[in-house]
Chain A
Amino acid sequence: MNVEGEILIELYRSQGRVEKVAIRSSRPLQLTAVFEGKSVNELLRVVPMLYSVCATAQACAAAQACRQAMALNGDIRVEFAEKMLVDVETAREHLWRLLIDWSNYAEEPVDRPLVSSLSTLLPAAKSACFGEGGLFTLEPALSLDGERFESVIERLSKAAAEAVFSMPPAEWYAIDTAEMFDRWLDQTSTAPAKLLRRIRDRQTGRLADAGANPLPSIDPLALCRRLGDEDAEQFVATPDWMGARLETTSLTRMVSHPLLQNLSEHYGFGLMTRLTARLLELAAIPGRLSDQLEGLRGDRIDTGSSGSKTGVGEGLSEVEAARGRLIHRAVVEQGKIAKYQILAPTEWNFHPRGMVAKGLLSLPAVETSQLKAYADLFINTVDPCVGYRLEVV
């Protein structure tokens, strides 16, 4: 009954090392074909239902691609607020995985009431931005309640401080040397700190070093052309750019932070650096949201690089979702979807010869259960919600 598909990962050992990694995907990427012929409004209704794991990012990408395809250049503050909601979703996703998965890895109890309470964050943020009106529709109206949004940011900060950092997230974000980081590890009793301390003390922080080869900003026109090619289906399933197999994760978004640069001197881009990147991203979000809220209130917003034009009737959106960059392309003819494509971060990261394969290939060929444990932690570090099956041959 595995309708959602999965990624099968096989590790082959030989002569004391992992000799080969095979990655095959049965994820149903063809599902987007069912959107063809449907109205744009119908598409916008069903996308968050189908792709409900990161539903806000998916809905945001769909709405922004369709608006662009239909040349609907409405209130730029709407798209700005939509991306703020994606940030709230990213923070909630990170917190959920830290609270559940990292607690399990650290053999600490899961704080279920806190996990459960996070489920109300996004509805509150959405309501604070758009009231009870339509959200991620073609022409939504912003109805900002700044105080309510502030309270969402406060709840987020409090949860992150309590469960992860033992200090305000902005203060943790200022940690920029390996020595300060080590002191934090030694003085903090949260489950994430315990997990990282264990990794440091067991000297496993360098494991699964796949380097850092970030997916760069790509010219939208070039990307549209690639997605319009005859072999686009193959590209969506196993993407590369100019032959390069690239990564899009929290690590690639945070790689320029001084702490990661310093940790990479000790750990390369292995487990420790990757796990820390997730914490840095979580620590950055509340402060960024506060700045963005101020911008939105004062009509001083930076919409980034959006505004690049694609072909007539064609829209391309790029959204930085919890697991990496999510790209939607829509071709709209007379209000109906003529072509729809989704290029998800999972396909970049789990490319058969991509970053995950490289990281797994670097693991030591220890006994099976230990090898599986290392591989599982590494995969979780890259994408904690991907469905996969791991076999050691």
Chain B
Amino acid sequence: MCLAIPAKVVAIDEQGENATVVLGEVKKEVSLALVEDVSVDDFVLIHVGYALNKVSEEEAEKTLQLFAQAGITP
């Protein structure tokens, strides 16, 4: 039952292999190996160092709201 967390992409390295994402106030490096066509400002679901897939900003917000309802916040 592994959760994936939505995060916003703020930078992508020159090779397009890794991205910097922001979740709450924290920045994190993730691999883009498992997703295609990711750009800066996209939202992605991240899990254990990987971006899994893209989601819309609306979906990202709804998902974070559900986490907040359960008392889980970044």
On whether the beta carbons of A4 and B2 are closer than 8 Å, the reply is: yes
List B contacts of A31 (CB < 8 A).
3, 66-67, 70, 72
Q: Assuming A31-B72, A96-B34, A100-B33, is B66 touching A50 (CB within 8 A)?
A: yes
Minimum distance in angstroms from A52 CB to a CB of chain B? 4
With beta carbons under 8 angstroms apart, the residue of A110, A116, A326 that contacts B36 is A116
On whether the beta carbons of B1 and A29 are closer than 8 Å, the reply is: yes
Q: Assuming A1-B24, A3-B72, is B1 touching A346 (CB within 8 A)?
A: yes
Q: Assuming A1-B24, A3-B73, A52-B53, is B2 touching A112 (CB within 8 A)?
A: no
Query: Is A344 an interface position by the 8 A CB rule?
Result: yes
With beta carbons under 8 angstroms apart, the residue of B1, B4, B24, B69 that contacts A342 is B1
Query: Is A53 an interface position by the 8 A CB rule?
Result: yes
With beta carbons under 8 angstroms apart, the residue of A28, A115, A116, A119 that contacts B3 is A28
State the interface size on chain A (CB cutoff 8 A): 35
With beta carbons under 8 angstroms apart, the residue of A28, A54, A96, A347 that contacts B70 is A28
Query: Is A33 an interface position by the 8 A CB rule?
Result: yes
Q: Give Cα distance in the complex from A58 to B62, angstroms.
A: 18
Q: Give Cα distance in the complex from A105 to B48, angstroms.
A: 17
List A contacts of B67 (CB < 8 A).
3, 31, 50
Minimum distance in angstroms from B4 CB to a CB of chain A? 4
Q: Give Cα distance in the complex from A389 to B45, angstroms.
A: 21
Q: Assuming A4-B5, A115-B33, is B74 touching A50 (CB within 8 A)?
A: no
**CB-based nearest A residue for B23:** A1
Q: Give Cα distance in the complex from A112 to B17, angstroms.
A: 9
Query: Is A27 an interface position by the 8 A CB rule?
Result: yes
Q: Give Cα distance in the complex from A326 to B48, angstroms.
A: 20
List B contacts of A5 (CB < 8 A).
3
List A contacts of B59 (CB < 8 A).
49
**CB-based nearest A residue for B16:** A112
Query: Is A34 an interface position by the 8 A CB rule?
Result: yes
**Chain A 180-198 interface residues, beta-carbon cutoff 8 Å to B:** none
On whether the beta carbons of A51 and B3 are closer than 8 Å, the reply is: yes
Query: Is A167 an interface position by the 8 A CB rule?
Result: no
Query: Is A385 an interface position by the 8 A CB rule?
Result: yes
On whether the beta carbons of A385 and B2 are closer than 8 Å, the reply is: yes
On whether the beta carbons of B47 and A53 are closer than 8 Å, the reply is: yes
Q: Assuming A3-B72, A344-B1, A346-B2, is B52 touching A52 (CB within 8 A)?
A: yes
Q: Give Cα distance in the complex from A214 to B47, angstroms.
A: 28
Q: Give Cα distance in the complex from A73 to B61, angstroms.
A: 35
Query: Is B35 an interface position by the 8 A CB rule?
Result: yes
**Chain A 17-33 interface residues, beta-carbon cutoff 8 Å to B:** 27-31, 33
**CB-based nearest A residue for B65:** A34
On whether the beta carbons of B47 and A116 are closer than 8 Å, the reply is: no
| B-binding residues in A (CB < 8 A) | 1, 3-5, 27-31, 33-34, 46, 49-54, 58, 96, 100, 110, 112, 115-116, 119-120, 326, 342, 344, 346-347, 385-387
Question: Which 8 interchain pairs have the tightest Cβ spacing?
Answer: A344-B1, A53-B2, A1-B26, A4-B3, A52-B4, A34-B69, A31-B70, A387-B48
